[in-house]
Amino acid sequence: MKISVDRSKCTGLGICESLAPDVFEIDDDGDLVLKTDEVPPGQLADIEAAVDGCPTEALRLHQD
């Protein structure tokens, strides 16, 4: 599974970072950085929570 972010929607609120810090991080400019675009083993539930928890619906999980 892959993770992608729609930059036109993301405003860097960071809820994703608090739910899956190995994948998401807000950088010094307040922008979201994807540390990886692959779902790390055992973290699918956290990343699903991050996708559901995004107030701007900017995150998406998809097959390749």
Q: Which x/- pattern, by CB under 8 A, does the window 5-44 give for another protein?
A: -------xxxx-xx--x---xxxx-x--------------
Give, in order, the Cα–Cα distances in Å from 19 to each of 49, 54, 64: 7, 10, 22
Q: Which is nearer to another protein, 26 or 39 (CB)?
A: 26
Cα–Cα dist 8/18, whole Å:
21
Q: Is 55 in the site for another protein (CB under 8 A)?
A: yes
Alpha-carbon dihedral 31, 8, 62, 33, rounded to 10 degrees: -10
Interacting residues toward another protein by CB under 8 A: 12-15, 17-18, 21, 25-28, 30, 52-53, 55
